[in-house]
Structures are given as structure tokens and as C-alpha cells.
Amino acid sequence: DTGVSQNPRHKITKRGQNVTFRCDPISEHNRLYWYRQTLGQGPEFLTYFQNEAQLEKSRLLSDRFSAERPKGSFSTLEIQRTEQGDSAMYLCASSLEGDLYEQYFGPGTRLTVT
């Protein structure tokens, strides 16, 4: 399968714990995006990478959140000291460089903070 993959698909954690999600983009895509989606809402942008460089971060990305893409391939999103408000679907997408190219989304990681 050559689509965007995300792991794990589901994560349940207790408040205060740290969690890390992984995204593997389509291999030739040099852009990678992270979004958060809560129930009944559209996806909200968190951050994006072009190759290994993190080029933009949303104000939604508090200092408890950190994202990396060390080799310009897969990316990780870590949430430290999770809060119940962090419960959401975390979506990853990738694309070729350029605004004309569409984004391809992964299946998402559903996070539940108890």
C-alpha cells in the first residue's frame, strides 16, 4: 500500500501521560501536515513540514505539543502531559510541493484521554 499510514490507530491514555504518534507519508511527497479534528468539526491545522523543516505552526500547537520529521520521511507528533481536551482524531496528510497539489490523508489516530 502506498498511501499515508498512521500508527497507532487508537490510543487511550490517562491524563498527564505523554503520547507519541507516527505518520508515514507517501514516499515521494516532501510536504507533511498534522491536523486535529474534534467531533462535529472539520480538521484544524497544527503544523507542517517541507522535507525536514517545520515551516509553520498553528497557535493550537501549545508548548506541550512537539512534532519532528528528522529525515524528511516519517514524522512524529508528541503530546506531553496530556489533558482531557487533547482527546481528538489526529490526522496526517502529505503532498508534493506546490499549492496545486492535493493533500492525501492518512486514517488518523484517535486519542482518548481519561
Partner 1 sequence: KQEVTQIPAALSVPEGENLVLNCSFTDSAIYNLQWFRQDPGKGLTSLLLIQSSQREQTSGRLNASLDKSSGRSTLYIAASQPGDSATYLCAVRQPGGSYIPTFGRGTSLIVHP
Which positions lie near partner 1, rule CB under 8 A? Answer: 4, 6, 31, 33, 40-45, 48, 55-56, 89, 91, 93, 95, 98-100, 102-108, 110
Q: What whole-number distance in Å separates Cα of residue 75 and Cα of residue 83?
A: 22
Decide whether 4 or 79 has the Cβ nearer to partner 1. Answer: 4
Q: How far is the CB of 35 from partner 1 (least distance, A)?
A: 8
**69, 72, 75, 77: CA torsion to nearest 10:** 20
Q: How far is the CB of 44 from partner 1 (least distance, A)?
A: 8
Q: What whole-number distance in Å separates Cα of residue 36 and Cα of residue 111?
A: 10
